[in-house]
Amino acid sequence: MIGLTAEPLALEPLIAAVRDDAHGAIVTFLGVTRATSNGDARPVAALDYEAYPAMAQAELEAIADEARARFGPLRIAMLHRTGRVALGEASVAIAVGTPHRAAAFAACAFAIDALKARVEIWKNECYADGARAWAPNAEAAP
Amino acid sequence: MEVRVLAFARLRELCGFGERRVVCPSGATLEDLWRELARESVEFAALRPSTRFARNGALASGTTVLADGDEVAFLPPVGGG
């Protein structure tokens, strides 16, 4: 279960997707819409996410492959929202299952860090006063 | 030859299209195509240092020579998560 979705995110389907009798640990991450952006006092009402679906899908799968190579054996699920995400809703969900917990924590942190740096998704912040602004990640290349 | 150009986020807003077919001369590079479109907007042109190019779904340098039917994308710094 790796990709983009326009539907609200829930962790249960991702947890089910990575469940494995050989694994003793499942670590999950939810990225949730925050009321204010870094260095900007204006209250945020919602986020609008835009993606280049073909490249975003390939990059998410490449990150999953790298996580397996670095921290495996593991199972990983990653979903990212597109379109309007209201305040307090999840924009990204990740679940990682491994035999022991240390690898699951490490792989989950790696996956969200890599996603924020590399995946072809863009965030338009919609403020309560009606203004909007594109908000690139600090870790984005170049 | 003709290529399909995709622009995203801030670049999409500045160039006024998300997707457009563009006719370019044989031998044109990604950088040539960018310069041609950047003539229409100073603000768009100013974003070149933060823009990455992709050709047919893979990141590509400005010196990449285009082929008829290519899908070109202009990618601003990402903001997922």
pLDDT in tens, A87-138: 999 999 999 999 999 999 999 999 999 999 999 999 999 999 999 999 999 9
- List the helix and strand counts (H, then E) for chain A: 3, 9
CA-derived radius of gyration, chain B: 12
Torsion of CA A88, A30, A7, A33, to 10 degrees: 30
**Contact list, A136 vs chain B (CB under 8 Å):** 50, 76-79
pTM of the full predicted structure? 0.95
**Contact list, B75 vs chain A (CB under 8 Å):** 52, 55, 120
Query: Hey, are the CB atoms on B76 and A135 less than 8 Å from each other?
Result: no
Q: Is the pLDDT of residue A39 over 80?
A: no
**Contact list, A50 vs chain B (CB under 8 Å):** 8-9, 12
Torsion of CA B5, B8, B12, B14, to 10 degrees: -120
Give the contacts of A47 (CB within 8 A, at least 6 positions apart).
A33, A84, A85, A91, A123, A124, A125, A126
> Which pLDDT does position A37 carry in this prediction?
81
Rounded Cα gap, residues B78 and B81, in angstroms: 10
Give chain A's domains with CATH numbers. 2-134 (3.90.1170.40)
Structure tokens that stand for A60 in this block: 């998410």
B33: pLDDT confidence band, cut at 50, 70 and 90? Answer: very high
Give chain B's domains with CATH numbers. 2-75 (3.10.20.30)
- Nearest CA distance, B62 vs chain A (angstrom): 14
Rounded Cα gap, residues B69 and B61, in angstroms: 18
ipTM of the complex: 0.94
pLDDT digits (tens, 9 = 90+) for A9-35: 999 999 999 999 999 999 999 999 988
